[in-house]
Amino acid sequence: MAHLLMVESWVGSMSRLLPRAIREGGHEFTFLTRDLHHYLRAAPEGATHPLLGARHVLTADTNGIEALLPFVERAHRALGFDGVITSCDYYLPTAARIADRLGLPGPTASAVGNACRKDATRRVLTDAGVPGPRFAVCADWAETAAAARDIGYPLVLKPVDLCAGMYVRRVDDEEALADAHRALAEFPVNARGQRRAPVVLIEELLVGPEVSVETVSFDGLTHVLGVTDKSIGGAPAFIETGHMFPAALSAADTEAAEETALAALKALALDGVVAHTEIKLTDDGPRVVEVNPRPAGNRITELVRHVTGVDLAAACVDVALGREPDLRRRATGLRSAAIGFLVPDTEGTLESIEGADDVSAAAGLLELQLAVPGKAVKAAGSNNEYLGHVMAGDAEGLGARDRAEVLLSALRPEVVGP
């Protein structure tokens, strides 16, 4: 039995998948957080959050790395950790710093830091010749406007250190750029109390299908589990409205996406990680959107598991312990699996979601998760405002996306207000 230190977590599905994988692997974990109630508020009423299955819960300021490191060293001497893990993007660099200080397995702190900062990723990949968009890193509005004129519209404005598509916007002219720049400037601190970097990233707009490559890197070798497709909506935002694994691509496009992801991971020197690399398949070839040194969110890990039998949450636990993960594929009875998200386009209070009973009884359904009545609803501007999802599988081929979309279309949210 091994003992992991879990440094914070997402409050979504990975906050359940990682504790499950730790438990099923015969291990235990200590949970380190600055605010336990951040997670307990997300638990369904009457349910015990899986994070409370921790052997210990430690409270410390996880946003202050210099004071945190001595605290963790003392905890390590008392409790004995075999690995450090997190699922939350905002604490991936912290987990890497802790593992390095304690002499435990994991990717280097510099590699994780470069992957988690979108501007650093762009610089590293450009220096290595890995294809991506033209870009500029800008410290203020004057630099942003000048760089936009140089790159040319349309383009994309991004924060360098947020996630879930927050404040990522397509802009077609300087007026839209100013609006997007102003909105981002008015969000100086993220949801975990961390102050954002004051720079913005603007990029050439990449046109083409978007996919992600799911990989596991261990002991210098990277294993590709496959390619997931993405559907994007909510313009001018970029909201993920659904995914299918495996993506319905030609063999050539699949290979090109995989090779580009491998090149990006090599350039960033990422090892000992489960990674999720997003790529646009443009007319000029694949271009890297971003590299995430953690398992994919939005239930993509479950799509992979339903089709291949490989549990990426378990692989994440294994590599954090310095153990070779089990990536053997197993027959699951499914050829494809897909998820569709219920994305709100209005504000108010959720009164009901009609059609749920019929969908719950539908053939091919793998998961149905819906928000409960009374939830405050706002028009989605990122991947944080979903009202639920459906997941469906196909035993015959690549029909899971169509099946998921049919089931999703049968759900009718009733929102009243505002």
271 and 312 in a single domain? The answer is yes
> What pLDDT, on a 0 to 100 scale, did the predictor assign at position 43?
64
Q: How many residues does the chain have?
A: 418
pLDDT of residue 42: 67
Strands (E), 273-416: 273-282, 285-292, 336-341, 348-354, 365-370, 376-377, 388-394, 412-416
**Do 286 and 399 belong to one domain?**
no
348 φ, ψ (degrees, to nearest 5): 150, -150
Looking at 279, 307, 332, which one is the last position of a domain? 332
Tell me if residue 221 falls in helix, strand or coil: strand
Which distant-in-sequence residues (6+ apart) come within 8 Å of 28 by Cβ? 1, 2, 3, 4, 22, 54, 55
Range of 289's domain? 208-332
State which of 179, 204, 229 marks the end of a domain: 204
232 and 310 inside one domain: yes
- Count of alpha carbons within 13 Å of 201, Cβ hemisphere only? 24
- Say which residues have a Cβ less than 8 Å from residue 177's Cβ, sequence separation at least 6: 144, 145, 148, 155, 157, 171, 202
Instruction: Give the per-residue pLDDT at 13.
Output: 82
Phi and psi torsions of 396, nearest 5°: -100, -30
Angle at 415 between CA 358 and CA 366, to 5 degrees: 30
- Distance, CA of 293 to CA of 277 (rounded, Å): 8
pLDDT value at residue 162: 94
Question: The domain that contains 306 carries what CATH number?
Answer: 3.30.470.20
DSSP code of residue 378: -
* CB distance 12 to 297 below 8 Å: yes
Total of domains in the chain: 4
Which pair of structure tokens corresponds to residue 241?
A: 């409205």
Q: Where are the beta strands (DSSP E) in 128-235?
A: 135-138, 155-159, 169-171, 200-204, 210-218, 221-233
Q: Is residue 316 part of a domain?
A: yes
Single residue among 292, 309, 332 that ends a domain in this structure: 332
Q: β-strand 155-159 against 169-171: which pairing, if any?
A: antiparallel
Report pLDDT for 38.
85
- Answer yes or no: do 354 and 379 share one domain: yes
Same domain, 248 and 327: yes
List the CATH number of the domain containing 14.
3.40.50.20
- pLDDT per residue rounded down to tens, the chain (418 residues): 999 999 999 888 888 899 999 999 999 999 999 999 888 776 666 667 888 889 999 999 999 999 999 999 999 999 999 999 999 999 999 999 999 999 999 999 999 999 999 999 999 999 999 999 999 999 999 999 999 999 999 999 999 999 989 999 999 999 999 999 999 999 999 999 999 999 999 999 999 999 999 999 999 999 999 999 999 999 999 999 999 999 999 999 999 999 999 999 999 999 999 999 999 999 999 999 999 999 999 999 999 999 999 999 999 999 999 999 999 999 999 999 999 999 999 999 999 999 999 999 999 999 999 999 999 999 989 998 999 999 999 999 999 999 999 999 999 999 998 7
> Edge-to-edge strands of the sheet including 336-341?
285-292, 273-282, 210-218, 221-233, 239-245, 336-341, 388-394, 365-370
Residue 53: exposure state from Cβ atoms within 10 A (0-12, 13-18, ≥19): middle
Max distance between CA atoms of the chain, in angstroms, equals 58
DSSP labels, 87-136: --GGGHHHHHHHHHHHT-SS--HHHHHHHHSHHHHHHHHHHHT-----EE
Q: What are phi and psi of 286, to 5 degrees?
A: -70, 145
Q: Same structural domain for residues 327 and 343?
A: no
Helices and strands per DSSP (H, E), number in the chain: 13, 19
Decide if 79 is inside a domain. Answer: yes
Residue 349 and residue 320 share a domain: no
244, containing H or E segment: strand 239-245
Residues 341 and 400 in one domain: yes
The pLDDT assigned to 45 comes to 61
CA distance 137 to 28: 42
Place of tokens 């993506």: 247
- Quick one: pLDDT at residue 210? 97
Q: Does 147 lie in the same domain as 218?
A: no
125: nearest Cα among 133, 397, 63:
133
Report whether 339 contacts 366 (CB < 8 A): no
The CATH number that applies at residue 381 is 3.90.1170.50
Let me know if residue 161 belongs to a domain: yes
